[in-house]
Amino acid sequence: MARLRRKACVALFLFTLFIFGTMMGLRTLKPSDGFSDLAPGLELLPMIGGKMDRRSVARDATASPGQARPAGSNTKAVLSNSGPEGSVFYDVHIFYYIWYGNPHMDGKYIHWDHILVPHWDPKIASSYPRGRHMPPEDIGSSFYPELNPYSSRDPDVLESHMEQIGASAAGVLVVSWYPPGLADDNGEPAEDLVPAVLDAAYRHNLKVAFHIQPYRGRNDQSVHENIKYIIDRYGDHGAFYKFTTSTGKSLPLFYIYDSYLTPPESWAEFLTPTGSHSVRGSAYDSIFIALIVEERHKHDILAGGFDGMYTYFASNGFSFGSSHQNWKAIKAFCDGNNLLFIPSVGPGYIDTSIRPWNNHNTRNRVNGRYYETALQAALNVRPEMVTITSFNEWHEGTQIERAMPKKTVTRVYLDYQPHGPDHYLELTRRWAEQFNKEKEQWLM
């Protein structure tokens, strides 16, 4: 009897362990309730969670006559390029980073040696390690790239990246962009690399759009100058992406990251027809897409004169904008105000290699199920376009680029097993094709 009782106890323990593991895995497929925590990627803005200026914009969801969009400014997408197997789709955009470096090409490691970002609360920060990573064995990522810690300047790397993006069927890579001479706090200026990216993209039938980053001193005036610079310098390149509106206009498209840092009144000077330095109707007129993080941002985006909004973050549940459950309401708001809604989906999220205190925003990949859940949520709202976060943001673990198993004396990196290194490229293609099949039915 004693032996039977022991066996029963062991069986019960193993069953309980199995149920717990299953629940933890499934938890990652649902939104978290911890919306007020720091948004991933916003470590320099600790005020966003509720301490930041909460000036509300008291406007109805529908544009007032003074906010009405000018005639002929309809930005709804027409059916995008679609074709036989092996083609790419220009309504699937993927965020792309050119900030990586290594000693062979750049004389030193850049970004792979990312610092461990301290928490803004000194009490919490004191509980976590400080310092920086030491490549090549120890890099600022929870995954390890199949190409090893590469340089974005390496022509062979660029060629491999374009091949991988083409394999994923994403037709537009959205390059993280800083003006000449500027970079993020952990990087080096890389604007001079843009021509090589355009040339490589062109060879693979891909297009390039620009993701304007929040450099120091960015405002509506400086962004206007940035747009002029980009269009004058790259606008005639065969890989320069232009969006075709339902009225037949072909216009450049720009994503403005952290657009909420500039007040809507300032954006309106640039983006509305009556603004003091309006871009509308000029040779530099474009489609401008703002970032929605908090719910109130949708009103600011409308008032600022933007043409649409995107959500960027791959951590479902950390903010209003990135929560799949809110996309239907955001899409309805956009439809009612003639704005594009471009949801952003990602394969997972883990940034604890650079923000060790941010474990609560981790979203496990669950062998691709998290990604497919996000992709289905995006298709459910029938968007004109979808963005993928990301091709190669390794720090935040959102990459679909090929990764490989890696184990060192001090670290064991995550990988895509039991699937191969192409798993997320293949999933992206499958869903891109499904998106375009469904889109044909929506537009019939």
Q: What is the pLDDT of residue 22?
A: 53
Which pLDDT tens digit goes with each residue over 187-219? Answer: 999 999 999 999 999 999 999 999 999 999 999
Domain containing 139 equals 89-443
- Per-residue pLDDT band at 444 (split at 50, 70, 90): confident
**pLDDT of 14:** 63
Predicted model pTM: 0.83
Q: Is the pLDDT of residue 325 over 80?
A: yes
Structural domain includes residue 307: yes
* 35: in domain: no
Predicted pLDDT of residue 271: 98
Per-residue pLDDT reduced to its tens digit, 70-93: 333 333 333 334 334 469 999 999
Q: Both tokens of residue 299? A: 């009103």
Query: Which of these, 400, 393, 394, 396, lies nearest to 176 by C-alpha position?
Result: 393
Distance CA 310, CA 292 (A): 6
Q: Is residue 382 part of a domain?
A: yes
**Residue 195 belongs to a domain:** yes
Lowest mean pLDDT among 8-22, 177-191, 269-283: 8-22
Number of domains in the chain: 1
Cis peptide bond prior to 36, omega within 30° of 0: no
The pLDDT, as a whole number, for residue 67 is 36
Domain contains 16:
no
Which amino acid is located at 227 in the chain?
Answer: I
pLDDT at site 15: 61
Tell whether 304 is covered by a domain: yes
- Residue 361's alpha-carbon distances to 32, 239, 245, 315, in angstroms, are 8, 35, 36, 6
Average pLDDT, the chain: 86
Peptide bond into 390 cis (omega under 30): yes
Which residues lie below 8 Å from residue 248, measured CB to CB, with a gap of 6+? none
Among 23-27, 83-87, 182-186, 426-430, name the one with the lowest average pLDDT: 23-27
Q: What is the largest CA-CA distance in the chain?
A: 88
For helices 297-304 and 264-271, the axis angle rounded to 10 degrees is 30
Report the CATH number at residue 357: 3.20.20.80
Is 67 among the domain residues?
Answer: no
How large is the average pLDDT for residues 26-55?
37
In a domain, 48, yes or no: no
